[in-house]
Structure 1
Amino acid sequence: MTKPPRKKSQPLLRETDAPIRSSPRKPRDPAQPQLPFDPMPDRIEPCLALLKQRPPSGSEWIYEIKWDGYRVAVHIKPNSVRIITRGGHDWTDRFPAIADAARKLGVGTAILDGEAVVLDHEGRSDFGALQRSLGGRGGKKASAEAILYAFDLLYFDGHDLTNMELSGRRHLLEDLIGESEGAIRVSQEVEADGATLLAAACEHGLEGIIAKHRDSTYRSGRLGDWLKIKCVQSESFAIVGYELSTAARGGIGSLLLGAYQGDAFVYVGSVGTGFKEKDAIELRRLLDTLKTKRAPVGVDKKGVVLVQPTLIAEIEFRAWTDDGKLRHASYKGLREVQDNAAIFKLDE
């Protein structure tokens, strides 16, 4: 795959390859004020990207590739590293290569915001491969293949950076990580027009792009400072049942999907493609433990097996039909509870 152009890092802190350390390089001038250290937070709620159909234009926006994995924060202290999922769970032991790379960054304290991913042979993030490397939903395996694409620096060397503008935070991040191709890499800012970059991303089979306002501070929640523009729509839906098949692997012909409308589930269609054999067999095992006679949604199909809406599936699709069903849907994998994935909500 042809990689998008990469913006060369501009070192902000130093002109040397020596690691960044907390100790001062020369005695402090007593006449200068002493900057107080900010307490390192146990957790920072992530800034989330708002979905848009088209990328914004203008010099105030920067663009990155959208990575498809698990959102994590890497907390680094002098004697410890913690990798925290979006849902607040400690997954340090699940991502050993990332944790080891974090210990070797040579920084006293830091919090990196990024996406843990597994890459395919063309360098694209593969959510299904990440899931399998972790042992599937509910699995306890450590992923030796997972790497981190870091795209923000929230705390550094004793100082809270969330009130600094994004462009400044990125300078510090790039200077800290450099152009590493190891287990922690910088998600590169791409100098391109948003529409041109989106077209290139879609041509190369990527999920989409992220646009970020370069002067924005880091604000938790989905407030519009960050935008996501996808090549193919991808959302999380509850599995509410399945159709049996004697021909399909695992005996699943298709999964029945539900979304929220208000406080209730509604049926939004089915998905019958995208399963690998191992995925389908494990899915059937999990679903058969969740069978129910009480329909979680109104399903206009006969001969289906209904299940409690406990499992959350990530589904790619092209569009919605006029009657509110998914078009050209494809299964990507199950979301973890620890990932804090939100079931898609329809407009009321």
Structure 2
Amino acid sequence: MSALFTPVSIGTLELKNRIIIAPMCQYSADDGQATDWHMFHLGSLALSGAGMLIIEATAVEPEGRITPADLGLWSDAAEAALARVLKALRTYSAMPIAIQLAHAGRKASSQTPWDGGQLIPVAQGGWQTSSASAVPHSEHETPPLALDQAGLTRVKNAFVAAAIRSHKLGLDAIEVHAAHGYLLHQFLSPISNQRSDRYGGSLENRLRFPLEVFEAMRAAIPADTPVGIRISASDWVDGGWNVEQSTVFVKALEERGCAFVHVSSGGISPHQKIPVEPGYQVGFAAQIRQHTKMPVIAVGLITEAEHAESIIAGGQADMVALARGILYDPHWPWHAAAKLGGTVDAPRQYWRSQPRELKALFGATSIGQR
């Protein structure tokens, strides 16, 4: 039996296989509101046969958007727009759906990638960014404002409010974004956090605000809704955040009821040096898995079914997440199941598409046509 196609549990949530669709920014929202693009995009992925779909990084307040076109969940209008998309998905797919809640911090107010991705100055329609410290992401950028106590409270409350909206929408799980150089990661890393108060300096202090945010979110919604986290296990910069500090963070999160950890890396500095190759982040997931009982999700150029299978079978991670690979091939789980002898859920409208030699691929009785 394929290890990749065995069930796995995230808290009380049961997944039929260990393939996760990672959150992928689409930069296609209107004032934070999901559009028809999200209907097409998420609808396609919800029919892929993966174990769970995680909706893209969703800003908890307008100032927390990476770009003006980011998805958000700070208003009734944004909640209603996402509800429309989710209703359509639920009509045709039983796949568990999670959402990643995020705040971009000093990396906010940026152009979309296809427009260059650079910081948009306030004079050109951008907005003042905020962070742990008044240290810009790139030397030429306008420095962010260091969050004071009122700002910290505002941001924490925004995460809580978005978590409550997520639960109201019936989403199956929540992932807190503490990776890729965004706000919570900015508090964790000594590169971006140069505070001298109780939120900066020592590792204990740098963990404090992300843990406060997680605790508040976890307390705000029922215990049977899993709340997990995505982290960057390494900054890939000398003197920065690393896997040893990540392990301390993960242990503290587990004590506070965290349901899973999604292990990525990088994003805090343009000076990062990342040796990109297939599975380049899997080693971090494997290291962290040795120190936690939480399910661990590995990600990072996992494109081949056999590679994904070896990660699970070898005990490096409990699940694998795909991003660009599943955009390129939205039926990647079908093809992986065909290679590995697994089965996947597929809409009955597609049952007749399975090759004759793979009659059990969809776990459904073959049907004919008059």
Please report the TM-score for the alignment, with normalisation by the length of structure 1. Answer: 0.30
Q: Which structure has the greater CA radius of gyration?
A: 1
Q: Using CA pairs under 8 Å that are at least 6 residues apart, name the structure with larger relative contact order, 1 or 2.
A: 1
- Name the one with the larger helix percent: 2
- Name the one with the larger strand percent: 1
